[in-house]
Amino acid sequence: MIAVIDYGMGNLRSVEKALQSLGFDAQITSDPEKVVKADRAVLPGVGAFADCRTGLVDSGLREAAAQFIKTGKPFLGICVGMQLLFEKSLEFGEHEGLGYFKGTVRKFPDEIIARGMKIPQMGWNRINKKMTHPLLDGIETGDYFYFVHSYCVKAEEAGVEALSCEYGIDFSAMVIRDNMAATQFHPEKSQKLGLHLLKNFGEWKC
């Protein structure tokens, strides 16, 4: 079973439906025990970083996610679910992240507005492939995925950035380490390639 972690935030139903459309047993759950016992887990996230972190902690699912990650089973963060895995965020103040990856979540610089770009980035953007990995089978540089975000992060350690993207600045579109992976874009909204990535995740032997 793939647990879609429900901590009061996130695009839960669309993630669940996307995985189910691929033939996987995906279930939205707020039960910490079910999360830990799941075969795979997905941490979605939509909204402000601090609110998402508070919801995760207050629900008891922060500890459940940590226990799950320690099992070595496949774990996927999406959007703010990716940002939460980093050290901290500067969204409306400074907030501590979960610290699995080194880096700070920052707002896109206002200077890009003068170049005709809008904040948030909302829509399709191309990615650059930075590594070879089973999760990236069938995905190549130049492919497009769907983004909705005002804040982004650049991984500050070597060997974890799987995909990068440029929107005024260069940022990490996907990171992977051990059994953890996370995307800034929404694979569940990224049509054929997004579903392909989710299929790779559902079949990932890490």
By annotation, the residues acting in catalysis are 79, 186, 188
Confirm if 1 and 25 have CB atoms less than 8 A apart: yes
Closest CA to 106 of 88, 128, 133, 84: 88
Backbone torsions φ then ψ of 119, nearest 5 degrees: -120, 125
Confirm if 46 and 139 have CB atoms less than 8 A apart: no
| 108 token code pair | 């896109």
* Angle (nearest 5°) at CA 110 between 104 and 112: 105
